[in-house]
Chains A and B, each alone.
Chain A
Amino acid sequence: MNEDIVVTGMGIITGLGYGKKQTLEALRLQHSGIGKINYLQTIHADYPVSEVKMSDNEMRNFLKIPSEKIITRTPLLGIMALNEAINEARFDKNEARKIAFINGTTVGGMEKSEQYYPEFINTEHYIENHDCGSSSEAIAEYFGNFDMITTISTACSSAANAIVLGANLLKTERVDVAIVGGTECLSKFHLNGFNTLMILDKAACRPFDATRTGLNLGEGAAYLVLEKASNAQQRNIKPLCKLSGYANTCDAYHQTASSPDGQGAYLAMQNALYESQLKPEDIDYINAHGTGTENNDLSEGTAIMRIFKDTIPPVSSTKPFTGHTTSAAGSVESIISILALQHDFIPANLNFNHPMPELSFQPVKENITKKLQHVLTNSFGFGGNDTTCIFSKIE
């Protein structure tokens, strides 16, 4: 029951590129995925976003999905990412193991529904693919073989919560393998929504910068393959790292804003540290939620100061690279954190220039090479839904 939970496969697709290799290269070269909107048809073309640089057709061709099969962008991104994760984890389809697929998404098939809504009676049946569950099933169907499929919809913490649920299912021995993460494509619905909340930036986002005025949206998908250490050993596969600790808490303050003292974030980090049996000074790098909004960065920064006090490790938000991938952010950023861990490399917090007067720390401005043993990543969602995951090297 108290065995290590390890990561044996990872797959990712974002505005930085397809796969871990392209992602790491973009991080090292400081090539952001944020730019002008290209694929999404919207009047809000002046908001920088991070789009995956592949059209739906290009992804369909890559995945050899027949043209008559109706599938929307969110699951296409999901299948691309899951493909890489499953290949790395080397599953034998004939193995008799219980495998769960836990997918975080909020947009689901909405980007097609809104495109075809005025004429839906006459065009294809995208409406059936609208809801979140359909996206998860479409992804699962491509691969087959899952004993359990479920969808988590807790906004920007969805993918991180998928990791939490997967880990709990493994601990309670309900499944042998949990494939967890999230996927989200851009849509006019949420682009307009974030715009109406006035938290989008018309320039590139600047997390933890005193002049920050908002976030840039992004799209992408990322999945991790989780299993118990003994299971990985039986399958003869070398784990990439372990999930030492995790926690989900509620800020209980406001529907969309975070509390001034970052209480939810504080509790999430505190509980994750406790579960991992680590002390704050053991953490070598924090990949922050760091959206670049006035509210989040102050709230999260305050929580970091409260937990880490005089031993605040290097902190960066990688959202200036990938944009805020909303329901996929938790797994996108977990994978980035694990890449950092594997390569002893801390990616810069791009666009930072002016320290926040309220904080005792600044994010890292340049890439750093440093031996990393434990990394912590935060994902906070609307509804005060706060999740922290800690990944560690295996000795």
Chain B
Amino acid sequence: MNINIASYCRLTNHKLEVNDIDIQIQKTEASSLNDIYRHLNLSYPKFFKMDNLSKAGFLASELLLKNIIIDKETPKKDMAIVLMNRSASLDNDRTYQTTIQDENNFFPSPSVFVYTLSNIVNGEIAIRNKIMGESSFYISENFSPEKIYSAVMNTFSDPNINQVICGWVDYEFNECDVLLLLIRKENQEKIPFNVNNIYHLYT
């Protein structure tokens, strides 16, 4: 049984690449995740409620799964989501802190608080695509192909799981650093899932 990378998406401030195709988006100084959303012509207004981390992960997942998940309504019990990053939800935590910082203007924001958890990005991808398998989020000091590989292989020890969306989703100080992979058990010739290939797709 081969375990392969069926699809990938690399999203940074300077690059948007999906399965070897470079997606050119007019990059201006104000260019942002919202611009990518508009460029992709997605119809999902809930996107604008998300924090930057969830937006980044969500957009990458839309591209990752384009033409693979056509039916977003049928529950996918055999698909898992296993993500990692370094800064957890700190980018959004700072925003939340501003709503409780000043004693004289103290209005904690519920919609911002929702995103003060790193795994909400898993939730957003799951809600969008009705993915109901395992969902995990790990914190790691650095991007580690070994840890990603290990986590995914652990997930496959559950015989019910046939596909895993995995990777690195980080957003901090306006820097977006995302590598999402769709890993599948299948026999066709694809990119084999191993530490080296994860590393090459990241760099």
Contact = CB atoms under 8 A, between A and B. Distances in A.
Chains A and B touch each other in the complex, with CB atoms below 8 Å apart: yes
Interface of A: 106, 114, 117, 131-133, 150-155, 161, 164-165, 168-169, 171-172, 174, 188-190, 192-193, 195-198, 247-256, 263-264, 267, 271, 275, 381-385
Contacts of B90: 131
Contacts of B192: none
A251 B131 CA distance: 8
B108 A193 contact: yes
Interface residues of B, number: 49
A256 B114 CA distance: 7
Most buried by A among B109, B151, B154, B155: B154
A254 B127 CA distance: 7
Given A250-B126, A251-B132, A384-B123, A153 B118 contact: yes
Interface of B: 75, 77, 81, 87-88, 90, 93, 96-97, 100-101, 108-110, 113-120, 122-124, 126-127, 129-141, 147, 150-151, 153-155, 157-158, 160
Given A172-B157, A255-B114, A256-B114, A383 B134 contact: no
Contact of B88 (A132, A249, A271): A132
Given A172-B154, A267-B77, 19 more contacts: A133-B141, A150-B140, A151-B139, A153-B88, A155-B119, A164-B134, A168-B157, A174-B150, A189-B96, A189-B97, A192-B113, A196-B108, A197-B113, A247-B134, A250-B81, A250-B134, A253-B127, A254-B127, A255-B120
Contacts of A247: 134, 158
A248 B158 CA distance: 10
B154 A165 contact: yes
Contacts of B158: 168, 247, 271, 275
A265 to B, nearest CB: 11
11 contacts: A132-B88, A133-B140, A150-B139, A152-B138, A171-B157, A189-B100, A192-B100, A248-B135, A251-B132, A255-B115, A384-B127
Contacts of B100: 188-189, 192
A168 B154 contact: yes
B110 A252 contact: no
Contacts of B122: 154, 250, 383, 385
A40 B156 CA distance: 42
A193 B96 contact: yes
A382 B160 contact: no
Nearest to B150: A174
B97 A249 contact: no
Contacts of A131: 87-88, 90, 139
B137 A154 contact: yes
A382 B135 contact: no
A155 B139 CA distance: 13
Nearest to A161: B136
A263 B119 contact: no
Given A152-B136, A382-B120, A384-B135, A252 B75 contact: yes
A114 B139 CA distance: 21
Contacts of B135: 154, 248-250, 383-385
Contacts of B81: 250
Nearest to A152: B138
A275 B159 CA distance: 10
Contacts of A188: 100
Contacts of B117: 106, 153-155, 381-383
Nearest to A153: B118
A251 to B, nearest CB: 7
Contacts of B140: 133, 150
Given A172-B153, A250-B133, A255 B138 contact: no
A250 B154 contact: no
Contacts of A171: 157
A271 to B, nearest CB: 7
Q: Which 6 A-B pairs have the closest CB atoms?
A: A383-B123, A193-B113, A168-B154, A196-B108, A252-B126, A250-B135
Contacts of B155: 168
Most chain A beta carbons < 10 A, residue from B130, B134, B135, B151? B135
